[in-house]
Amino acid sequence: MLGTFLQREKRLIKSEVIAFVVLPLVLLPLAMEVVLHGMRPEWFDLYREKILIANILYIVVARFTMLDTAVYIFSRSKNHVHLALIQIVLLYLEVTIITIVFYAVLFNMFDVFTLFHLNSQFPQENLKMIQEHSFVTSMYISTVTFTTLGSGDWIPQTLPAMIAVISEVILGVVQGGVFVAIVIYAHQNKNR
């Protein structure tokens, strides 16, 4: 069944050129949500946890769709293996950046300092600077989480934050595994 799923020809994205343009559109629903958050904060606060969980489910499904697309494009590529590998690396970089930005925007929108606790001793002026730059802080937390570096400074304080961290770590690990599989596939097919 999985083989049939991966071989299906009726796909929206069939080339790397289209993929590079279309994949960032994954961020569009989140952008609309940011606008809605600004216009209707009371509604947003009322359904806060449900919205966060829905966003996590959305990005997990979107990410697997993006990775499926990348694998499909690479497996059908008529380009020289090295050129195809460069294209897939760039496509994976784009998917990585989209995912990290998606989670960073979520963390920022849901107040990164409510979702996470800083478990570190900073001088007061450094702590104030971190609090003034919540999006940079969100990007840092998202990047450290996605790459599974996990510095341990930022600890999730809520169940939805824990679920977000779990899902982002899984996406990061899966992406790394798929990337290694594609490199092995390219190396094996080099001689054919």
Q: How many CB atoms lie within 10 A of CB 21?
A: 10
Asked whether residue 155 is domain-assigned, the answer is yes
pLDDT for 191: 54
3-state secondary structure of 121: coil
pLDDT for 2: 44
Predicted TM-score (pTM) of this structure: 0.77
pLDDT for 91: 79
pLDDT for 1: 44
Averages of pLDDT over runs of 10 residues in the chain (192 residues) are 51 68 84 89 87 89 78 67 72 87 94 89 79 90 88 87 93 84 68 54
Asked whether residue 111 is domain-assigned, the answer is yes
Asked whether residue 80 is domain-assigned, the answer is yes
- The CA distance from 10 to 64, in Å, is 17
Classify the phi-psi angles of 152: left when phi > 0, otherwise alpha if psi is within -120 to 50, otherwise beta.
left
pLDDT for 78: 66
Asked whether residue 86 is domain-assigned, the answer is yes
pLDDT for 100: 94
Asked whether residue 5 is domain-assigned, the answer is no
Asked whether residue 180 is domain-assigned, the answer is yes
Domain CATH code at residue 141: 1.10.287.70
pLDDT for 65: 79
Domain that holds residue 90: 12-189
φ, ψ dihedrals at 122, nearest 5°:
-120, 150
Would strands 116-118 and 154-156 be described as parallel, antiparallel, or unpaired? Answer: antiparallel
- What's the domain count of the chain? 1
Among 183, 175, 21, 179, which residue's Cα sits nearest to residue 100? Answer: 175
pLDDT for 3: 47
Asked whether residue 91 is domain-assigned, the answer is yes
Asked whether residue 33 is domain-assigned, the answer is yes
pLDDT for 8: 54
